[in-house]
Structure 1
Amino acid sequence: MQASDYPQRPVRVIVPSSAGGTTDLIARIVSSRLAKLLGQSFVVENRVGANGVVGEDYVSRQKPDGYTIMFVPSGHAINNSIYKNIAYDPEKDFTPIILINTVPLAVVARPGLQVEHLADLVSLARAKPERITFGSGGIGSSNQLATELFATQFNLKLVHVPFNGDSPTINGLLGDQIDFAFINVPAVLPYIKEKTLKVLAVSTAGSIPSLPDVPPVAATAPGYIAASWHAVFAPAKLPPEIVATLNRGINQVLSLPEVRSRLAEMGIEVKGGTSDELAGFLHSEIAKWAEIARIAKVKAE
């Protein structure tokens, strides 16, 4: 197939996490513009489970013809360090297309939790070991590891409650099922603006444009930095000409002022670049998160 021939029919865009979450939001923003650019529908399909393993396993077994691609969060670099017997390799069984963005996490608490600052949460957790609960997008998710890294710095004994993505985690906070969570800013920003959830900190080195008055975690935990990211992959052995078409198209979408401003408003830093750059980035991320998982002793049961 020549690059000029692709795509000739709708493309399925697999999102291995819940509808309404950060990965889903970004996938829909990019897919809708990519459809206009390439003249075919890019249809988002959510396949949820096991911190993305269900959806990624599905994509790894599809034909490398360009008609099934996936938008994944940084859990793609984490899962093989956490879960036993995963059938796919995150590098060998996928073709890298493009790094979409990086995104900070916000530390948010349920409305009734008696804390106003991150230091209050630390004090409360110290006073109530193994009684303060935190949610995440799943076992081994980047927000679980970000929380474990935070807990390790203060030697906190917390209780982890895994959900299937950002939206269910937010619902858990609103329903008083959990006490706090580190959540991707785009998913939780509306609740922060509406003051239905308490925001305590952000995971970047300093404040961010979308939440300029919120202090960084590093103000309480010196040196702390954590961030998530999103990227596009396809099944292994995707023809280079299709890789080039998708990479070029998505780079064009990411350069659109309307897309850049929309993502910036959500607290997202647009990246883009080449497929080779994504391959190198993924390799380094796998090593980094494996070490964090080892230190925090995170393993799926």
Structure 2
Amino acid sequence: MRLTAVAALVAALVISAGALAQEKYPSRPITLSHGFGAGGNSDTVARIIGPVLAERLSQQVVVEPRVGAGGNLATDRVAKAAPDGYNLIVLTGGHAVSGALYKALPFHPVDDLQMLSTLIYFPFVISVRKDHRFQSLADLVAEARAKPKTITYSSVGVGSTQHLAGELLASLAGIELVHVPYRGGQAPVTDLLGGRIDVMIDTLTVTRPQLNAGTIRGLAVTSPAAWPSLPGIPAAADTVKGYDVRSWMGIATTKGVPEPIVKQLNADILYALQQPQVRDKLEAIGNEVRGSTPDEMRSWVAGEIAKWRKVIDDAKVERQ
């Protein structure tokens, strides 16, 4: 009787395990994390793509900001999550910068994540308050040379792409600027308008509403040539030769997620990017929409880390 009972228990466990293994994904809500403040670029992009992913997956997709450490707190959480596909993260160009800037991270920026697809590519805008004394990037450079370490600029955290964009500008122009890190969101805009910082280096998502409202003035765009959706704002490279900073976003999940789920998520992200309600909104805030395969995203992130390592070395930025 005991043997029969044990056999029945084993059979029940096997059946239960089989049922779980065959459980349709997803069977519960999915968390789409990012590492920056509400209202910032990551938050905006996540909330544009999230509803279409939710509809496609027939499950709720909860956008969850986890602010801190230049986005690395959110990435660390996803890197250490269960490999079941229920924890996704919007990675930014700052992820590659962190991989190059920090001596040690609590996760490997490539090997501890399963890349799914890139989403967008974009430049940054170097801007000032509308009534600021700087009328051009050349004005900024001239004053910074005459008065080193007196001009402040914002970023969304130490190790963010905005931070390195400022460091690269200073290095190539032969000037010294004062870096003021924030946690993303609208805080840099608030302090720029309030006169507490001189210069903001930020995404089009954050900058464009203020440009349209006439409250700030764009001195330059960080792409090597003028950006199509920002007519009238010159490229920084017109003033500082060789300057080129463009960033990106993509979605990743935890390493070890089963391949069928990886393929499904990749297909669903690519589908979402093709929908007018997603593509039009992303392009309207100045982005180039471009999806990828998981392998293409992995190669891209690894290449970006290598690029920023060289920038950091050339600019003599101290590693954190």
Whether 2:298 is the aligned partner of 1:274: answer: no
1:89 match? 108
1:136 to 155, 166, 172: 155
Q: CA deviation at 1:2?
A: 7.7
Distance 1:245 1:212 in 2: 39
Distance 2:312 2:189 in 1: 24
SS in 2 for 1:5: coil
For residues 199-210 of structure 1, the aligned pairs below 5 Å read: 199-210=218-229
1:195 match? 214
Whether 2:302 is the aligned partner of 1:283: answer: yes
The answer to whether the 8 A contact 2:97-2:164 is kept is no
2:70 match? 51
Q: CA deviation at 1:168?
A: 2.0
- Which amino acid is 1:24 matched to? D
The answer to whether the 8 A contact 1:136-1:166 is kept is no
1:31 match? 50
Distance 1:14 1:33 in 2: 16
Q: TM-score, normalised by structure 1?
A: 0.95
Q: CA deviation at 1:106?
A: 0.6
1:227 to 234, 246, 255: 246
- Alpha-carbon distance change, 201 to 3 in structure 1, aligned in 2, over 3 angstroms: farther
Q: RMSD of aligned C-alpha atoms?
A: 1.7
Identity %: 37
Q: CA deviation at 1:150?
A: 1.2
Q: CA deviation at 1:209?
A: 2.7
Stretches of structure 2 lacking an aligned partner (at least 5 in a row): 1-19
For residues 1-301 of structure 1, the aligned pairs below 5 Å read: 5-299=24-318
Larger Rg: 2
Q: TM-score, normalised by structure 2?
A: 0.90
The answer to whether the 8 A contact 1:97-1:234 is kept is yes
| CA deviation vs aligned residue, 1:240-278 (integer Å, no higher than 9, x gap) | 111111110010111112322211111100010200100
Worse-matched range after superposition: 161-170 or 115-124: 161-170
Distance 2:226 2:148 in 1: 29
- Alpha-carbon distance change, 218 to 65 in structure 1, aligned in 2, over 3 angstroms: same
The answer to whether the 8 A contact 1:145-1:296 is kept is no
The answer to whether the 8 A contact 1:140-1:298 is kept is no
Distance 1:233 1:21 in 2: 19
Distance 1:90 1:186 in 2: 25
Aligned pairs, number = 301
- Alpha-carbon distance change, 186 to 60 in structure 1, aligned in 2, over 3 angstroms: same
